[in-house]
Amino acid sequence: MGRACKPRVVCLILLTLLLLYLLPWFWSGSLQPASGFFNYEVDEMLGQERQGKFQESNPDVVTVAGLGVGQPGQRRLCPQGSFRLPTMETCMPWLGCKEITNKVTTLGKIGSGSIKKVYKAIWRNHTVAYSNLTKPTYRNFILQDIEMLKTLQHPSVLQYVGSCNTTLLTEFYQLGSADFIENILNLNTYSKFNNVRTRFNMALSYLEAIHFLHNSPLGTRVMCDSKGPRKTLSQFLITQDFKLVLSDLDWIPEVNHEAHHFIKCRRIRTKSKFVAPEELWPFGNETYDNSRMPSYDEKTDIWKIPGVVDYLLGNVNGSDVVRSHLFKVHQQCQNRDPSQRPTTKVLLEEYNRVKNMLFPEHITNSIVNYSRHF
Ligand SMILES: Nc1ncnc2c1ncn2[C@@H]1O[C@H](COP(=O)(O)OP(=O)(O)OP(=O)(O)O)[C@@H](O)[C@H]1O
Ligand SMILES: *[C@@H]1O[C@H](CO)[C@@H](O)[C@H](O)[C@H]1NC(C)=O
Ligand SMILES: *[C@@H]1O[C@H](CO)[C@@H](O)[C@H](O)[C@H]1NC(C)=O
Ligand SMILES: *[C@@H]1O[C@H](CO)[C@@H](O)[C@H](O)[C@H]1NC(C)=O
Ligand SMILES: *[C@@H]1O[C@H](CO)[C@@H](O)[C@H](O)[C@H]1NC(C)=O
Ligand SMILES: *[C@@H]1O[C@H](CO)[C@@H](O)[C@H](O)[C@H]1NC(C)=O
């Protein structure tokens, strides 16, 4: 301020004006009305704070966040055969054996499934996730996973970085997998994101991922590894801006209506209350025989959407308001006749309608206008 305001009076006036300008923000922060959970301005300020935080560590995310939440195609993709981590300025060709053997250092283990052990790792100053096999016998599973990942690169899918034989390198997602979303949002660090807006946007990104699977370059793919809401969410990772990306592509069989090619998600009987009715053994107490089990299509995924979204919406102020707006379309998702259930396209339209109604986007503008007006 030193040189900018020589005469003291000018300084004082400026300061007073600044304070007067800031006062409403302080008030809106502390005197939240009970109906404040759809208070877009406060939400948006949090959003900007978050953007600012990312700006230090990775400039690329800001542009992505600036595109607005929930739009399909948020993450800018590199051309096929290349990748760009949030900490990189430009796209680079996928990494092969030489680079992975010489330039990657593994750090601690961050997770493990039945097929992969996953480690945090450093490649030339960038954090990545390094996965290798739990058992040599699963070789073909991980190879299949790698091929799928390479072919299905999309903003709704975990970013592929490189591979060498059965070692896989991908983008590292600090927030981990989405089955732990409640734990994450309940951490003090993230408590300010534990609101209905973040949760709704996560639900929307989950829906976008299913939409992508149902309309993928490899045809209509079904998310079979989904016998409960948490199991389903364990197939997703959480991005820094709280979107879900598909991470596990080793069990997504193809449905082809024209070719009359349908699927059975498992070889054994399930009694899960979460799955669609057509996934259940229809012959009562007769001994289960997989060859007699009728096959089905991608509408099994649609049946599960209300359950997963319900889980994601959780129990914060506003969750039930969103639930009530989605009630009708969710009821259609659970029509016993699969052909009567909506497609992901219809669901996306409905979700976006609810989003525009409850979480309109012109918030940044209103702040800008306000300061101009001032
Ligand atoms: N890119 C990543 N960034 C951060 N954490 C990850 C990443 N990939 C995997 N993880 C963690 O490692 C765990 C195991 O990974 P994943 O579920 O993909 O293994 P899997 O063996 O293929 O699983 P499944 O048993 O379902 O087939 C995940 O639940 C997640 O917590
Ligand atoms: C919901 O809002 C009320 C009133 O603003 C507040 O007292 C309460 O703590 C909020 N609950 C949650 C879970 O955020
Ligand atoms: C890695 O980071 C360090 C310190 O941040 C820097 O000195 C070094 O040049 C970087 N190396 C590469 C390859 O980017
Ligand atoms: C997987 O990677 C870890 C960490 O680099 C290593 O210790 C382990 O031996 C590897 N396992 C296999 C089966 O290659
Ligand atoms: C690839 O890995 C398998 C074990 O997972 C090993 O038997 C084989 O020799 C490896 N091939 C190459 C080319 O490294
Ligand atoms: C199986 O169901 C039939 C009729 O649905 C019934 O008559 C029969 O007793 C049942 N058997 C067993 C072992 O429960």
Residue 188 and residue 159 share a domain: no
Residue 225 and residue 101 share a domain: no
Residue 224 and residue 336 share a domain: yes
132 lines ligand 4 (CB under 6 A): yes
Pocket test for ligand 4, best of 109, 128, 132 (most atoms within 8 A of CB): 132
Last residue of a domain, one of 123, 148, 171: 171
**The pLDDT value given to residue 12:** 55
Q: Which atom of ligand 5 is nearest to the CA of 97?
A: 14
User: How many Å lie between the centroid of ligand 1 and the Cα of residue 194?
Assistant: 24
Q: Which atom of ligand 6 is nearest to the CA of 286?
A: 1
The reply to whether 193 falls in a domain is yes
Number of separate domains in the chain: 2
Percent pLDDT > 70 in the chain is 76
Residue 313 and residue 280 share a domain: yes
CA distance 251 to 373: 55
The reply to whether 75 falls in a domain is no
Which residues on adjacent β-strands are paired with residue 122? 105, 127
The reply to whether 118 falls in a domain is yes
The reply to whether 1 falls in a domain is no
Residue 323 and residue 229 share a domain: yes
Residue 236 and residue 127 share a domain: no
- How many CB atoms are closer than 10 A to CB 5? 14
The amino acid present at 154, given as its one-letter code, is: H
Last residue of a domain, one of 171, 189, 215: 171
Reply yes or no on whether the pLDDT at 14 is more than 90: no
The reply to whether 160 falls in a domain is yes
User: How many Å lie between the centroid of ligand 1 and the Cα of residue 204?
Assistant: 22
Percent pLDDT > 90 in the chain is 75
**pLDDT category, 206, cuts 50, 70, 90?**
very high
Residue 287 and residue 321 share a domain: yes
Q: Which atom of ligand 5 is nearest to the CA of 133?
A: 5
For residue 166, what is the domain's CATH number? 3.30.200.20
**The pLDDT value given to residue 140:** 94
Residue 237 and residue 134 share a domain: no
Q: What is the largest CA-CA distance in the chain?
A: 93
Pocket test for ligand 2, best of 43, 317, 319 (most atoms within 8 A of CB): 317
**pLDDT category, 31, cuts 50, 70, 90?**
very low
For residue 209, what is the domain's CATH number? 1.10.510.10
Instruction: Indicate the helix (H) or strand (E) that contains 171.
Output: strand 167-171
Residue 326 and residue 286 share a domain: yes
Q: Which atom of ligand 2 is nearest to the CA of 195?
A: 14
User: How many Å lie between the centroid of ligand 2 and the Cα of residue 287?
Assistant: 51
32 lines ligand 2 (CB under 6 A): yes
Domain that holds residue 146: 82-171
Pocket test for ligand 5, best of 165, 166, 167, 168 (most atoms within 8 A of CB): 165
Residue 257 and residue 128 share a domain: no
Q: Work out the mean pLDDT of the chain and round it to a whole number.
A: 83
Last residue of a domain, one of 171, 188, 208: 171
Residue 166 and residue 100 share a domain: yes
pTM over the 0.95 mark: no
Reply yes or no on whether the pLDDT at 76 is more than 80: no
CA distance 60 to 76: 9
Q: Which atom of ligand 1 is nearest to the CA of 179?
A: 29
- Between 33-42, 162-171, 184-193, the lowest mean confidence (pLDDT) is in 33-42
Identify the nearest ligand to the CA of 132 by its number: 4
The reply to whether 129 falls in a domain is yes
**The pLDDT value given to residue 16:** 53
Identify the nearest ligand to the CA of 112 by its number: 1
The reply to whether 200 falls in a domain is yes
**The pLDDT value given to residue 74:** 52
106 lines ligand 4 (CB under 6 A): yes
Asked if 334 and 306 touch (Cβ cutoff 8 Å), the reply is yes
Residue 236 and residue 97 share a domain: no
Identify the nearest ligand to the CA of 142 by its number: 1
Alpha helices, H only, the chain: 8-30, 40-57, 59-66, 97-103, 139-151, 181-185, 196-214, 229-233, 299-313, 319-333, 344-358, 363-373
DSSP secondary structure, 272-308, as one string: -SSS-GGGS-SSTTSPP-GGGSPPB-THHHHHHHHHH
**The pLDDT value given to residue 5:** 46
Reply yes or no on whether the pLDDT at 59 is more than 70: no
CA distance 238 to 149: 17
Q: Per residue, what are the HEC states of 37-104? A: HHCHHHHHHHHHHHHHHHHHHCHHHHHHHHCCCCCCCCCCCCCCCEECCCCCCCCEECECHHHHHHHE
100-150 pLDDT per residue, tens: 999 999 999 999 999 999 999 999 999 999 999 999 999 999 999 999 999
166 lines ligand 5 (CB under 6 A): yes
The mean per-residue pLDDT over the stretch 359-366 comes to 61
102 lines ligand 6 (CB under 6 A): no
The reply to whether 341 falls in a domain is yes
Q: Which atom of ligand 2 is nearest to the CA of 32?
A: 5
290-345 pLDDT per residue, tens: 999 999 999 999 999 999 999 999 999 999 999 999 999 999 999 999 999 999 99
213-241 pLDDT per residue, tens: 999 999 999 999 999 999 999 999 999 99
175-187 pLDDT per residue, tens: 999 999 999 999 9
CA distance 245 to 155: 7
Reply yes or no on whether the pLDDT at 79 is more than 60: yes
247-264 pLDDT per residue, tens: 999 899 999 999 999 999
Reply yes or no on whether the pLDDT at 33 is more than 50: no
CA distances from 372 to 13, 202, 258 (A): 18, 33, 58
User: How many Å lie between the centroid of ligand 2 and the Cα of residue 43?
Assistant: 15
